[in-house]
Amino acid sequence: MLFLYVAVGIFGGYIYWKIVESAGIFRDRSDPTKIRGGGLVLLPVILWYLFRGSGNVYTILAYVVLAVGVMGLLDDYRGVSGYIKAAVSLVSALLLMWSLGWVVPIRFLGYDLYLPFFNEVFWVLFFVGFVNAFNVIDGKDGVLLMTAIVLLSYLYVLTGEVMYLHTAAVAVGLLAWNSPPARLIMGDTGSYVLGIFITSAFILLPNIPVEVKLLALSFPLVDTLTTIVRRLRRGQSIFQADKEHIHHVLYSRFGDRWGLFLIMLINLLSVGLAHLYTMYGQWVMVLGLVWWGILSLVAFSGPKLADTLH
């Protein structure tokens, strides 16, 4: 069965690439040889499972994913303001929280916390932050898909839900066209659809401590936080693009293929630490803090590397 979904990714990506290329649209603005919007291939698979899911939450989430997918496609076609995308993410978060009845406890260090207003704000920020973090890490060929494959596989381990495994399998197939040198780029269609799907999945795990979720999401978490700090220190807008992210550092120093391998390794180590936490308890968080420190050092070496390359 998994091979069928991998084939969907391979052939779906090929068909999308050929149709769009012949139409002469969705060409990447920085590299016209690449086609944007490859995340559209993932959208029907995710929607199929969400609309089949039981409960109001999955239905609301399906419409949110559909709306954000359309916004991402529009952004890949002609561009959408970062403020508009942030606003859409915020509205999506509010809809998700509304569908959950605004009651989502925070399990932290063995305690279930529920503080009126604080919990709602925390999960809205969690949602908006990580949805946009997936957009931030989509800066080099294969990075977004490789991260999604690892995280979706881990979500399958945690939940046993086949929709995560099958979506990961489609992503594996798409990686044939998205790995460096990519012919097909996931674009904002892919980053926002995968971002909402994966972020929502982690929020919908009430029995999993928030530390485990943050450890599993270490790569987008650290890369986005260090990016915000870097830009604020320079007096720049946090929406201003640059090429000083963790993936840029790794690809520049080790080449595209080895860089992608290291991205896979970073995500595997992150979910490995998360799983160790579930098995052995809170002391693993010490290793997690060390891991975040290592990733931060790599991230902050980006400006120095950029100066060297220039």
Write the pLDDT tens digit of every residue in 152-171.
999 999 999 999 999 999 99
What digits encode the pLDDT tens for the residues 178-235? Answer: 999 898 999 999 999 999 999 999 998 878 999 999 999 999 999 999 988 888 887 7
Instruction: Give the up-direction half-sphere exposure of residue 188: CA atoms within 13 A in the CB hemisphere.
Output: 23
Range of the domain at 251: 2-309
Q: Which residues fall within 8 angstroms of residue 223, CB to CB, at 6 or more apart?
A: 133, 136, 137, 245, 246, 247, 295, 299
Q: Which residues pair with 113 in a beta bridge?
A: 106
Q: How confident is the prediction for the chain on average, in pLDDT?
A: 88
Percent of the chain with pLDDT over 70: 95
111-113 and 106-108 strand pairing: antiparallel
pLDDT at 241 over 80: no
pLDDT-based confidence at 307, cuts 50/70/90?
very low
| Cα 237–chain centre separation | 21
Q: How many CB atoms sit inside 10 A of residue 110's CB?
A: 9
Lookup result for tokens 């943050």: 214
- Write down the pTM of the prediction: 0.92
Output 113 or 290, whichever has higher pLDDT.
290
CA separation for the pair 48, 137 (Å, rounded): 26
pLDDT at 61 over 70: yes
Total domains in the fold of the chain: 1
Mind spelling out the 3-state secondary structure of the chain?
CHHHHHHHHHHHHHHHHHHHHHHCCCECCCCCCCECCHHHHHHHHHHHHHHHCCCHHHHHHHHHHHHHHHHHHHHHHHCCCHHHHHHHHHHHHHHHHHHCCCCCCEEECCEEECCCCHHHHHHHHHHHHHHHHHHHCCCCCCHHHHHHHHHHHHHHHHHCCHHHHHHHHHHHHHHHHHCCCCCECCHHHHHHHHHHHHHHHHHCCCCCCHHHHHHHCHHHHHHHHHHHHHHHHCCCCCCCCCCCCHHHHHHHHHCHHHHHHHHHHHHHHHHHHHHHHHHHCCCHHHHHHHHHHHHHHHHHCHHHHHHHHC
The average pLDDT across 44-61 equals: 89
Amino acid 118: pLDDT: 86
Task: Please answer whether residues 104 and 165 qualify as being in contact, where contact means their C-beta atoms are separated by less than 8 angstroms.
Answer: no
The average pLDDT across 44-65 equals: 90
Q: Which two tokens stand for residue 117?
A: 């207003």
